[in-house]
Structure 1
Amino acid sequence: MYTHILLPTDGTPSSKDAIQKCMRFAKSLGAKVTGLHVVPQYHMYSYQPEMLDDTSEKFTKECQAQAERYLTDVELEAKEMRVDCDILILTNDHPYEAIIHAAENRHCDLIAMASHGRKGIKALLLSSETQKVLAHSKIPVLVYR
C-alpha cells in the first residue's frame, strides 16, 4: 500500500497526537517515515545593517533549535515503534509548499498530518496548512483530527 510517509509537525498537541497515530500506521504497513518541520525565512529591515547579521543568526539558531525539539518527538516515537525514520528541516514562508515539495522530492506516497479541527468562521478565516496541502497535493493526504 504505502511505503514512505511524510509526517510534517508543528509541535502542537494535535500534531503530537498525529505522530503517534502515524507511527502505528507506518508500523502496520512496514513503511518508512520522514518527519518534517518547516521554519520561516528570515525577514528583517533595519537602518543599521550590522543589526541584521546578529538578528539573522539568532533567528536561524532559534528556529533550528525549535525544529529539532519538534522532530525529536518524531524520532523517539519511531524508535519506540521500531519504524525506519529520518528527519528533515526546510525553510519556506509557505509551509504547505515545502510539505508538498518534500513529499515529491523524497518520493513519499502519502502525507500524514494533523488538523487543528477549526470549525465555522474560524475555519474560513484561518486557512490552515492542512487545507492548503489537501488542495494542492497530488499525493494522497491522511488527516488526523
Structure 2
Amino acid sequence: MTYRQLLVPTDGSEISGRAVAQAVDLAAALGARVRFLHVQNNYPISLVGVGEMVEASTIEALVEAASRRAEAILQDAMATAAKAGVEAEQVVLMNPLPHRAILEEASAAGCDLIVMGSHGRRGLEGLLIGSETQRVLLASTCPVLVVR
C-alpha cells in the first residue's frame, strides 16, 4: 500500500517533534502530503472548581497564549516539511478529547496513515493518565505509525 495523505498530530513535545521528522521523511520518500494537526482543549488549563474566581480577561489571555503556542508548533512542523520539499497543511482543532479529534480529522481529510509520538506511559501511570496514542490505536480505521 502506498500512503498519500499522512496525518501528524503534534503537541510540541520532543517526541512529537520526532514524529514530525519521521512523517516528513516518509512523505518525501513516498511523494505523499502531510497534514499537521494540533488539538487544543477548550481551555488551556482546567478551570474546574474555580468558577467565578477567574476573570474573563484572564481566560481570554490564556486562550490567546494557547493559540500563539499552537501556531508556533505548527509553523515549526511546516518549516520541517518545506525544508524537505514536502507539501503540507496545518489545522488546529478545539476538543477536550484529543484522540477523538485526531480520529475525526483523519477520516474527514481522507488520511491513510496517522503518524504520532508515544510518550510511553505504562503501568499505573498509563492506566490513570491514559494515552492518546493508545486510544487512537484502538479506534483508528487506518494504520497508525507510532514513533518513540
The normalised TM-score by structure 1 is 0.90
Determine the structure 2 residue equivalent to 1:37.
38
Q: CA RMSD in A?
A: 1.6
Determine the structure 2 residue equivalent to 1:20.
21
- Structure 1 residue 120 corresponds to structure 2 residue 123: yes
Q: Output the amino acid matched with 1:61.
A: E
The 4+ residue runs of structure 1 with deviation greater than 4 A are none
Q: Percent identity at matched positions?
A: 39
- Any idea what SS the aligned residue of 2:137 has? helix
- Structure 1 residue 73 corresponds to structure 2 residue 73: no
Moved more, 21-30 or 122-131: 122-131
Residues 47, 117 of structure 1: alpha-carbon distance in 2 compared, 3 angstrom cutoff: closer
Aligned equivalents of 1:97, 1:142: Cα separation in 2 = 17
Of 100, 104, 107, which residue of structure 1 is paired with 2:103?
A: 100
Give the drift of 1:47: 6.5
Instruction: Structure 2: state its 5+ residue gaps.
Output: none
1:89-145 Cα deviation digits (max 9, x unpaired): 000000001111111111111111001122333233321110111111112111111
Aligned length: 142
